[in-house]
Amino acid sequence: MNGDFRVGTWLVQPSLNTISQNGTHRQLQPKVMEVLVCLARHPGETLPKEQLLQTVWLETFVSDDVLIRSISEIRRAFEDDARESKFIQTIPKRGYRLVAPVVIVNGNTGLATEISRVADEMKGSSFARRGLRVGIVIGVISSVALLVLLALMPADVWRKLTRKSEVPQIRSIAVLPLQNLSRDPEQEYFAEEMTEELITELSRISALQVISRTSVKRYKESDKSLPEIAHELNVDAIIVGSAFRSGDRVRITAQLIYAPKDTNLWAETYDRDLRDVLTLQSEIARSIAAEVNIQTTQQERARLETHQTVNTKALEAYLLGQYHLNRVGRGYGKDEGQAALSYFQRAVAEDPTFAEAYLKMADATFFLPPNQAMSLQRAAVEKALELDPNLAEAHVTLGTLKFSEWDLAGAEREFKRALELNPSSAAAHDWLAMYLASTGRRDESKAEAELRQRLDPLHYSLSLDVIPGDEDRGIARLRTFLEFNPEDGFAHLGLAGLYARKGLQKEYVGELQRAAILFGFPKLANDIDVAYTSSGYPGALRALAIGLDRYGANQPLMVAEAYARLGDKDLAFRWLDKACREHDGGMMLLNLDEEWNSLRSDPRFAKVVRRVGLPQ
């Protein structure tokens, strides 16, 4: 069935991907139209799901959900009720059946029949006959001209004309984890990193609020409906899809769902070479922005349209580096940071123009001595910005470096530049909030922290947690987050700090132990446990201070904090001096962290504060 046909009273035009009735036109996605055509070829017959999937998505691996949404979209277009269907029936455990009558429209037969009917009515009048001939000629010419015009009209223009009033307003969006369709667990990292890249590209659009990866990852295996997920994330739309890789070929599918009504607004399948996947994510982001009528700036359009092609070896190393970087502090051992760094170094060796790889290399410096980490970060982030001055994430990293170098004005400038380039950067809002709090601008800091929280609603906000006076809310938020992400060492470490502020010693020690295990220091966790059992809270703090140094965690500021809590001022200042010499970034929070309260009356503390350039 290649031509037009009617389903009930609706005219279906597959070449235009439209259905129409009484002047009402509705656009269907190409794959949705193919499902309808497939059903129309077998009216009254039950077609198994497998047959529909194999026919419409030939050589494409998609789940049943894609077919279910396509059927739902057809029903929506026909204004059909699934419970009392007059068009498509669901046959449980078997498939679907088109029950409405199907009539093929052969060429212009329908038009010719209508003309003959009008001609018969007008017989008996010469004037009418002459008028009829003229009218027929004009009508036929007009009809042919209209058909030609519609046929030549680009599909995206037709879609915008017919659906402009139907597209709901979308200002916020979440990308759920893409499914790994390779069925190979070793390719799981690929689907995860494709999800992250798509989130990054969409977040470059200032008019679109994009939820961060940390808030959406909990829905990877969720059985919640899309409207439920959208309500929890407070977004208008959700993107679902899949990733499949076979050698150097990649297939990405994506669907844009309007969450309140659970309706499909857009869907597409992309086949690309592996080296083009970063460019592909920009292409998907542009398509989505166009679909929901989001206005992009000239700078944003240029950014989305200029993505480099990377050789496959460099890209493979980059994606593996991302994968290991995301595992740091999540129970996979302390070597994850080094593994990530090694992969990023391999990526830039394979492709010295790969800006994103340099940036990630700057981020993968966990457990290196602070001075060594800063030196590597500085070289890597400067190279990244030399290659791509508009890389927002690089400006965030440069801002944190300036923060650690006591260049407060420079740090603020970089964080704000990052937000100009990527308003949805949760990290930029977080660091700007901490900068503002550390310099005494508490109200501005809280406003930035709240903005960050809206972008990452199910994640804890470091900037909110370091601001004194709201420990109870911070504890409640972190506990909720850890219910769904129990293996997040960063969250356990943050919760330990809040417990310490509240004087909840047992809880503090327990969270420290859990964090130590997740970051790959089980011996440190055991030392803390043994010391706490034998010597109580002071013993646990001393075991923490000694163990951080013994096991090479390279955290001088944490050692200083432990001694400050013990009341050992001399050792606390000795380690504060080391942290200051090594430019530990946490020094910028001296005015905020309450663990330093026991030292504030000592003249040596004021000297340290002046040394790092903070206001007294």
239, pLDDT greater than 50:
yes
**pLDDT score for 156:** 47
**pLDDT score for 463:** 61
**pLDDT score for 200:** 82
In the chain, the percentage of residues whose pLDDT exceeds 70 is: 85
567, pLDDT greater than 80:
yes
**pLDDT score for 518:** 92
User: Higher pLDDT residue, 20 or 119?
Assistant: 20
Q: Is 257 exposed, middle or buried (0-12, 13-18, 19+ CB in 10 A)?
A: buried
**pLDDT score for 357:** 92
327, pLDDT greater than 80:
yes
CA–CA dist 523, 517 (Å, integer): 8
pLDDT tier at 465, thresholds 50, 70, 90: low
**513-560 pLDDT per residue, tens:** 999 999 989 999 999 999 999 999 999 999 999 999 888 788 898 999
Indicate the range of 12-16, 19-23, 46-50, 73-77 predicted with least confidence.
19-23
At what angle are helices 355-363 and 392-404 packed, to 10 degrees? 30
**pLDDT score for 513:** 94
160, pLDDT greater than 50:
no
CA–CA dist 61, 242 (Å, integer): 9
**46-67 pLDDT per residue, tens:** 888 888 888 887 756 666 777 8
Written as one string, the DSSP assignment of 482-550 is: HHH-TT-HHHHHHHHHHHHHHT-HHHHHHHHHHHHHHTT-HHHHHHHHHHHHHHHHHHHHHHHHHHHHH
Range(s) of the chain covered by CATH 3.40.50.10610: 172-275
**pLDDT score for 63:** 66
**pLDDT score for 106:** 55
Q: In what order do the strands lie in the sheet with 95-98?
A: 46-48, 95-98, 88-91
Indicate the range of 433-437, 567-571, 604-608 predicted with least confidence.
433-437
**pLDDT score for 514:** 94
pLDDT tier at 451, thresholds 50, 70, 90: confident
The per-residue pLDDT of the chain, averaged, comes to: 80
**pLDDT score for 183:** 67
Domain spanning 5-104, CATH architecture: Orthogonal Bundle (1.10)
**pLDDT score for 154:** 47
Tell me the mean pLDDT in the region 175-203. 82
Q: Which residues contact 588 (CB under 8 A, 6 or more apart)?
A: 403, 404, 406, 434, 435, 438, 612, 614
**pLDDT score for 585:** 77
**298-326 pLDDT per residue, tens:** 777 776 666 667 888 998 899 899 889 98
**pLDDT score for 351:** 92
**117-153 pLDDT per residue, tens:** 333 433 444 333 444 444 434 444 444 444 444 444 4
Of the ranges 125-134, 161-170, 377-386, 477-486, the best mean pLDDT one: 377-386
405, pLDDT greater than 80:
yes
Q: Which CATH class is domain 172-275?
A: alpha beta
Indicate the range of 29-33, 157-161, 221-225, 607-611 predicted with least confidence.
157-161
Tell me the mean pLDDT in the region 316-345. 90
Q: With b meaning 16 or more CB within 10 Å and e meaning fewer, what string describes 43-77? A: eeeebebeebbeebbeebbbeeebbebbbbbbbbb
Do the beta carbons of residue 267 and residue 254 sit within 8 Å?
A: yes
Indicate the range of 112-126, 215-229, 439-453 predicted with least confidence.
112-126
User: Higher pLDDT residue, 82 or 361?
Assistant: 361
Range(s) of the chain covered by CATH 1.10.10.10: 5-104
